[in-house]
Amino acid sequence: MTDGFDYDVIIVGSGFGGSPTALRLVEKGYSVLMLEKGSELGPDQFPKSNWNLRRWMWAPWLGARGLFKMTFFRHVTVLSGVGVGGGSLVYACTHPVPNDSFFHTGSWAGLAEWKEELAPYYERVKGMLGVNATPMLTPPDRILKAIAEDRGQPDAFHSTDVAVYFGDAGKQVDDPYFGGEGPPRTGCIRCGGCMLGCRHGAKNTLDKNYLWLARKLGLTLHADTEVTAIRPLPDGGYRVEAKHGRHPLFRKRRVITAKQVVLAGGVLGTVELLAKMKRDPLGLPQLSERLGSAIRTNSESLIGVVTPRRDVDYSKGVAIGSIYEIDEHSHLEPVRYPAGSGAFRAMLAPHVAGENGLVRLLRMAGTVVRHPLRFLRTLFVRDLAKQSAILLYMRTADGTLEFVRRWWGGLGSRREAGPAPTASIPQATELAHAFGDKMGGTPFSLVTETALNIPTTAHILGGCCMGRDRSTGVIDAEHRVFGYEGLYVIDGSAISSNPGVNPSLTIAALAERAASRFPDKPGRARAPFLPVES
């Protein structure tokens, strides 16, 4: 008990916002409790392929408590991570810094000198996550390099910076990052399994750095605990209500109090919880009307190129080993899953262009009719992961959605401003066909994209954006929720502009900055953990 509360701070969520915040606050002397609705998974609990749906998928009502979640909305399908370590468990561990436009647009523009302020935190996060350049080129990378050269842009292609310990493949060493304070690491064996949860100890997920160090300093972490309500207390602080347990029918209710609460559950967690509390007279009814607004994706297009040829294995490497920066606003990355991972096969349809749904369906049918044997040979390849490359196209187009709470309790989407997200992006289609020509393959997309033009994103952002006051944002430039002292949002929902690239580095850098604003507790603070210079 501290000052009449159970904890100084409760952090809801253990991803790229929550984990850096947790470490820095326990270093400052705060008693911190972290609540994570997902499970704590070890390497032997990660699936070997995504056919192991019980270990891979998050569907607790069906007894599946894996690390990967798909959420379907009217305007977008969202891919996200669940578990201790949040999205770091399933992300492709690439860490680019956004282009300059990101720092000067959106509702946060002018609230701070963002590029200058975040620069040292970007570098700190890279060190904490062991970010380094991918040291090899694999077959998909070479194809991408050739496409960049064909288009007269050889310098626009380069290897990615990834949070992976390469070392000697398969060899375990003592902690190479924090002077022995961290866990042992094992050299990457290039198995391609980054997005299924690394089974070999090479991927630098948050449980191997920020969370590991925070727990050594006293962080209390409760997994399998979903927060259901946050209510202000009459004399300050908050009462947090949660349910603990692995199956929704057999969970126990818990109530914990804290002086301050940090929401770090990502867009799907934080926005849904706050939308629920805004409707509750005893909850947080004074939240800004901007809650749920300015939801962004990276305007992605995900296209799989599948080849019937078996002479090249496209599954070996890290999840994303290279990037082609087409222009200031557009990027293309080849993505992979490990050998044997073909669970998406049942959701594939031929990739076709066109904004009109009827046109896309006719083109899809035409593709099958004109080339039936080619279609069947490609769709039923022996090993989808070995015989395919996933192309992730991203751009900074700034259309936004709004997430609203439906009468049954879940979130729904509706268009807000600018162009709606679309799965039909001509440049992405052109590049996919160019890739297919060099690979001897055929472009495919998820059926939701081909039939319904609903794009898929792994980078859902916004909904609790920054503003000058509650009429323009949900939080201020220090991540404080307008109208509720001691309540913070530090996660992807706070992102107030379109980065156009993988956002994990930016979320963590913002968390480092936000945590630095908390004062030290007198007599209890210690020097921050920082990576040892190699």
Residue whose C-alpha is closest to residue 40's, from 82, 80, 84, 86: 84
Helices (H) and strands (E) in the chain, counts: 12, 25
Phi and psi at residue 244, in whole multiples of 5°? -115, 130
Burial of 10 (0-12, 13-18, 19+ CB in 10 A): buried
Burial of 523 (0-12, 13-18, 19+ CB in 10 A): exposed
- Judge contact between 210 and 336, C-beta under 8 A: no
| Residue 459 annotated to the active site | yes
Taking the CA atoms of residue 422, residue 427, residue 433 and residue 436 in that order, the dihedral angle to the nearest 10 degrees is: -90
- What distance in Å separates the CA atoms of residue 118 and residue 113, rounded to the nearest whole number? 8
- Judge contact between 267 and 87, C-beta under 8 A: no
CA distances from 147 to 60, 151, 310 (A): 43, 6, 22
- What distance in Å separates the CA atoms of residue 96 and residue 465, rounded to the nearest whole number? 21
- What distance in Å separates the CA atoms of residue 224 and residue 166, rounded to the nearest whole number? 32
CA distances from 300 to 373, 403, 445 (A): 30, 19, 12
CA distances from 442 to 130, 344, 360 (A): 36, 16, 16
- Judge contact between 333 and 143, C-beta under 8 A: no
- What distance in Å separates the CA atoms of residue 534 and residue 531, rounded to the nearest whole number? 9
- What distance in Å separates the CA atoms of residue 260 and residue 10, rounded to the nearest whole number? 7
H, E, C per residue of 281-347: CCCCCCCCCCCCCCEECCCCEEEEEECCCCCCCCCCECCECEEEEEECCEEEEEECCCCCCCHHHHH
- What distance in Å separates the CA atoms of residue 234 and residue 247, rounded to the nearest whole number? 33
In the numeric block, which tokens belong to residue 356? 């009109």
Residue whose C-alpha is closest to residue 80's, from 497, 481, 507: 507
User: Which listed residue (95, 200, 459, 479) is catalytic?
Assistant: 459
- Judge contact between 500 and 328, C-beta under 8 A: no
Q: Across the strands, what pairs with 332? A: 324, 393
In the numeric block, which tokens belong to residue 476? 């201020």
- What distance in Å separates the CA atoms of residue 203 and residue 165, rounded to the nearest whole number? 6
Q: Across the strands, what pairs with 57? A: 68
Active site residues: 459
